[in-house]
Amino acid sequence: MDIAGPARTQVNGPAALNIAAVAGTGESLRMKSFRKELWFEAPQRRALMNITPDVGECLRESGIREGLCLVNAMHITASVFINDDESGLHADYERWLEQLAPEKPHHTYDHNRTGEDNADAHLKRTIMGREVVVAVTAGKLDFGPWEQIFYGEFDGRRKKRVLVKIIGE
């Protein structure tokens, strides 16, 4: 599992900052929602990328101080999860996921009869999870000491997206 320097781009979503909600009497209210897509292109089939700084930047852009931050893979062969930024652990993940849901032989999976070769990526993403929800407190991602957000790519070599949605105030 290669974690060295994947290509990485960011694209603003269609509604980057949306301050809305109208009281019955017409006053505008400070309930905010923020949306942004993060785009990634892993040069290998599988990669783990620490996207904590990207999500932190979204939170700063949003101006939201208290709320919840959803970060999810928009593709079903990729994952967003929280764990440690330690290269040994990442090597352990690679070995472990290959044990639990081996990539090959491709023909052992019914899904691959559709012309795909990525059935294992659907299963690996299932183990690792689609999404995380992170508390936002005092304008920061409210994390324990070692929590870092990762994008887990299991069928890379093409542009794929992560959605960041923050609601609060």
Residues 28-87 that bind a copy of itself (CB under 8 A): 28-31, 33, 35, 65-68, 70, 72-76, 81-84, 86-87
Name which of 35 and 46 has its Cβ closer to a copy of itself. Answer: 35
For 43, residues 6+ apart whose C-beta sits below 8 A from its C-beta are 2, 6, 7, 156, 157
Confirm or reject binding of residue 163 to a copy of itself (CB under 8 A): yes
Confirm or reject binding of residue 127 to a copy of itself (CB under 8 A): yes
By rule CB under 8 A, what count of residues binds a copy of itself? 75
Token pair of 54 as six digits:
């990207």
Confirm or reject binding of residue 5 to a copy of itself (CB under 8 A): no
> Going along 6-122, which residue ranges are E strands?
7-11, 17-19, 32-41, 47-50, 67-73, 78-83
Distances (CA, A) of 110 to 27, 93, 99, 105: 56, 25, 19, 12
C-beta neighbour count of 152 within 10 angstroms: 26
Of 4-12, 44-52, 53-61, 96-104, the segment contacting a copy of itself by CB under 8 A is 96-104
**Nearest distance, CB of residue 50 and a copy of itself, angstroms:** 13
Pairing label, strands 47-50, 7-11: unpaired
Which one of residues 4, 5, 9, 88 is an interface residue with a copy of itself (CB under 8 A)?
A: 88
Name which of 50 and 137 has its Cβ closer to a copy of itself. Answer: 137
Which one of residues 92, 140, 158, 159 is an interface residue with a copy of itself (CB under 8 A)?
A: 92
